[in-house]
Amino acid sequence: MGFTCGIIGLPNVGKSTIFNALTSAKAQAANFPFCTIEPNTGAVAVPDPRLEELAVLAKSAKTIPTQVTFVDIAGLIRGASKGEGLGNQFLGHIRSVDAVAHIVRCFDDANVVHVDGDVNPRRDVETVETELILSDLEAVQKQISRYEKIGKTGDKDAKARIEVLSSLEKHLSSGKAAKTFTTDFAEYAELSADLLTAKPVMFVANVSEDFAAAQVGDGSCAALDQVGEIAKERGAEVVVISGKVESEVAELAADERAEYLQSLGLKTSGLDRMALSGFELLGLISFFTIGPKEAHAWTAAAGTRAPQCAGKIHSDFERGFIRAEIVSHVDYVACGGEAKARDAGKLRTEGKEYEMKDGDIVHFRFNV
């Protein structure tokens, strides 16, 4: 269990290159638009050094990290919301993801055509955002028509919904994303569930090899700095990646990777940073079940209560939930394992109302 992240961006910005490196899958990376016709899906482990540490202490036979599923979504061009390119077919794929990684081309390469002629992050980002907003606008207008019909039959709720949707329509028409729309209307979450611009977004700046170790705002790559400004305006994060470097890293054996990254001035691969950034973007936490068979990381939204976290492992655990026995990762490591943590009084018993914390190591007690 993890989350799903859709990779979007204009053609030839490096989506397939990054996706391939992420998943080492065989999505086509060719120098022409629309080579990724069906969405490609691949799962990647979220790196978590805590899990490795716990597995060593518990002498677990294997480790099972939590996963991010990446979906390479192709076909977004100017006019997509009006059916250009792959049009609505691909817009539909975005609806099913939890978060969006918006890849922005910052690399210059005369051999790789840019659909709009030159490298210009602001124009590219705005092109993509406009298509998403237009698509949402159409979806909202359809909902308004639907509730107008329902309203004619005397349905009282319809009027309130039309009012909220009409304000949202105005908001989108002024070029703003659904996620910046505020309302205290109780059923808004339901009304906006399918909107593309309501999804959390991270920007991924695909820089050329020479700038792989560049930071936003360090002045070394003007296009990257521009992505930094755009992200700041939207309150979003930027992950700096060089698609070329990542595809080279993906080819290397695990023990050679660290050395290669270091030679480029990098601590971790861009892909690891992308997975982690997605995790933070969605406000997720990790909890662990640790034993001799396996050390297993699980994912839940921050604030999820113990029984629902138990349900991520097995529905019986949630149905028959009695209590959770918990020791924090910090205490577990400091004491040197579960038995010693128990002796030191660090093991707590928590009930149905307990909100699981990031780093909790848990045994769920249940009875069905």
**CA–CA gap between residue 1 and residue 17 (Å, rounded):** 25
Binding range to ligand GDP, per CB under 6 A, among 106-114, 118-126, 188-196, 260-268:
106-114
Is residue 171 part of the contact set for ligand GDP (CB under 6 A)? Answer: no
From 37, 61, 112, 368, residue interacting with ligand GDP (rule: CB under 6 A)? 112
Contact (Cβ atoms closer than 8 angstroms) between residue 165 and residue 147: yes
Strands 62-64 and 201-206 turn out to be unpaired
Residue with tokens 């202490």: 57
d(CA 286, CA 328): 12
Task: Among 60, 67, 192, 206, indicate the residue that binds ligand GDP (CB under 6 A).
Answer: 206
Binding mask 23-42 for ligand GDP (x = CB under 6 A): ------xxx---xx------
Q: Which of 2, 5, 6, 16 binds ligand GDP (CB under 6 A)?
A: 16
Residue ranges with strand state E in 2-130? 2-8, 40-45, 62-64, 67-72, 99-105
- For ligand GDP, the closer CB: 86 or 140: 86
Nearer to ligand GDP, 20 or 143 (CB): 20
Residue 354 exposure: Cα atoms within 13 Å on the Cβ side = 21
What are the structure tokens assigned to 179, written together? 């996620």
Closest to ligand GDP by CB, 9 vs 278, is 9
Which one of residues 6, 8, 12, 139 is an interface residue with ligand GDP (CB under 6 A)?
12
Distance (Å, whole) CA 248 – CA 41: 21
DSSP H or E run through 125 = helix 121-152
User: Which of residues 11, 39, 85, 87 is near ligand GDP by CB under 6 A?
Assistant: 11
- Binding segment (CB under 6 A) for ligand GDP, from list 10-18, 37-45, 257-265, 322-330: 10-18
Q: Which of 93, 102, 161, 244 is the binder for ligand GDP (CB under 6 A)? A: 244
What residues contact 319, with CB distance under 8 A and at least 6 apart? 311, 366, 368
Q: Which class for 262: exposed (0-12), middle (13-18), buried (19 or more C-beta within 10 A)?
A: exposed
Q: Which is nearer to ligand GDP, 221 or 347 (CB)?
A: 221
Helix (H, G, I), strand (E, B), or coil: what is residue 178? helix
Q: In 203-253, which residue ranges form alpha helices assigned H by DSSP?
A: 222-234, 243-251
In terms of CB distance, is 270 or 359 closer to ligand GDP? 270
If binding is defined by CB under 6 A, does position 243 make contact with ligand GDP? yes
Note the residues at the interface with ligand GDP (CB under 6 A): 9, 11-17, 29-31, 35-36, 107, 109, 112, 206, 208, 242-244
